[in-house]
Each structure stands twice: as C-alpha cells, then as structure tokens.
Amino acid sequence: MNTNTRVTTAIGVLRCGMRQGLIDLRNSMTGGTMVSLMTIPVMLIVVFFLAPGQKTDSGFTLTGMGYSFPGLLGFGLVIGGFAGVAGEILAEKEDGSLVRMKAVPRGITGYVVGKTFYQCVANMLCFLVSLAVGALALGGLVPSEPLRWLAAFGWCALGLVCSIPIGAVIGCLISSSVALVIPIVFLYGLMIISGIFSPVVGMAGWVQAIAKAFPVYWLGLGMRSAFLPGQAVALEAGESWHTLESLAVLGAWAAAGLVLAPILMRKMIRGVSGSSVAAARERFLARGY
C-alpha cells in the first residue's frame, strides 16, 4: 500500500468515525443524557451553599464555591470521559455492536474515532454548561485574561485525553455494567480526598499520597491555577501550582491509556463471539431490565 492510499484510507476512517460520533451525539440527546449533563452543575449549586470558605495566612479569603468550582469542573471531565466510554463499550459488547465491527474493514479504528469524538463533544457540552452556572453564581472567579482561558481549555483537553482512554481500558477489562459501579464509586471517593472541597494540606500524609497518585487531584490543581487569583496558591501544598508535575502525571496516565486501550480493545474483540453475546443478553434480560 503506497503513501497516498494510506492517507486516503486514514481520511476515510476519520470521516466515518466522526460521522458515527455525530449520529451517537444526536441519538444521545435524551432525558437521561440531559440529566447526566446537569450532574456537575447541580453539585456546584449544592457546594455554593454547603462548602466552607478558605483563608490564607495573609488574609486572602475564598468562598467555598469559589475554591471548589475549578476542581469540580475538572472532576466532571474525569467522571464524564471515564464513565461515558466505559459504559458504552460494555453496553455494545452485550448487544452485539462490537461483534459487527469485526466484519467491517478497519471497523475498530472507526469505532474508536467515533466514540472519542462523541465523548469529547458531550463532555465539552457538560463543561460549558457547568462553566455558565459557575459564571452566573461567581461572577469574578472566572478567567479574566485570554491566556488563562487558554490554560483552562488546555487543562480541559488534557483531562479528556487522560480520562477517555482509561475509561476504554476499564470497559474492556470488566465483564458487566454492574461491575462498573465499583470504579465509579472509587472516583467519587477520590473526589472527596483530592482537594476539590478543601486543600489537601489539611489531610493525613497517606491520604495525600493516595490522592496524588491519580489524575483527579492534578487536574483539579491545574484548573485552580487557571481560574483562581494568584493569592490562592498559598492554599496549595508547598504554596505552588506544581504545573510541571501536573502535566507529567496527567501525561503519564494519558499515555498509559492510549497505549493499553487499543491493545485491550483488539483482544476483547477477538474474544467476543455471537454465542457469548447471546449469553450476555440472556443474563441482562434475566436481571429484569
């Protein structure tokens, strides 16, 4: 296959994948999807009333909502990208969609492109809705400079690049939608200990170590560096935004997901047959859905 043929094939796969992503996006605009899009905005409103304010030694203060807002935006990207793609892979593994991809030339590549495009657009919609809610509630605590807006959307993109491949990995590894509850509950546990509602410096050292091993803490830290005034850095560990460390950890998670996801996807597809899909569907129906 010469270079021109490879380029033409790649463009064709991208077009098909993006077309399928647009179809998925249109089909997903249902009541259930809209409820999920509103989860983080509703959490923002709850935090506005319940979260305690934060104060630095120099006297600079932040409301609870002001401190939590950037971290919740970051967490929304993590949970949305992770759970969205993992749930879809599991559902389509059970209903036979992935089996049909085996019969389509470069079907798996187009499938991955389509799901990635769809999840990025859907989660960006959630991000923008949450941003609008926060801007109405907070006013001045949104980026006021073009570079800070650029940084905010850069962290947003990195969060999606990190969470979507990891979601694909989990979707390939677990065998049922019920099992997906476990990693989702784990993510919500990380939300509590990752400095989203209060600085991690007030937590035990071992709790901080667990939080810093996962993307939620670092993405929240990056989002706070883009949204909060410079004085707020005094609330962080070491009184630093740790930008390079954040980029390194998030980049490592993204690289691991991008390497593992295609490998596990191909392995999973090879192990899926019509009979296994039929058996999974029978189990699904037996649960009463």
pLDDT grade, residue 278 (50/70/90)? low
Give me the phi and psi of 54, to 5 degrees please. Answer: -125, 145
Tokens of 275: 């009979």
Q: What is the mean pLDDT of residues 166-170?
A: 90
Q: How many CB atoms lie within 10 A of CB 203?
A: 18
Of 195, 232, 235, nearest in space to 212 by CA: 195
pLDDT tens for each residue of 240-276: 999 999 999 999 999 998 888 888 887 877 766 556 5
The rounded distance, in Å, linking the Cα atoms of 139 and 66 is 10
pLDDT tens for each residue of 156-166: 999 998 898 89
Residue 214 confidence (pLDDT): 94
The rounded distance, in Å, linking the Cα atoms of 96 and 86 is 16
pLDDT grade, residue 51 (50/70/90)? low
Residue 248 confidence (pLDDT): 95
Q: What is the mean pLDDT of residues 173-189?
A: 86
Longest CA–CA separation in the chain, Å: 67
**Residue ranges of domains in the chain:** 63-105+124-286
Residue 65 confidence (pLDDT): 74
Residue bearing the bigger pLDDT, 235 or 219? 219
Residue 197's H or E segment, with its range, is none
Q: List CB contacts of 255: < 8 A, sequence separation 6 or more.
A: none
The rounded distance, in Å, linking the Cα atoms of 248 and 254 is 10
The rounded distance, in Å, linking the Cα atoms of 168 and 174 is 10
pLDDT grade, residue 41 (50/70/90)? low
SS3 56: coil
* Structure letter (DSSP) for residue 55: E
Q: What is the mean pLDDT of residues 218-226?
A: 93
Residue pair 13/101 in contact by the 8 Å Cβ criterion: no
Q: What is the mean pLDDT of residues 140-153?
A: 83
- What percentage of the chain carries pLDDT values higher than 90? 19
Residue pair 241/225 in contact by the 8 Å Cβ criterion: yes
The rounded distance, in Å, linking the Cα atoms of 270 and 195 is 41
Give me the phi and psi of 62, to 5 degrees please. Answer: -130, 140
SS3 111: helix
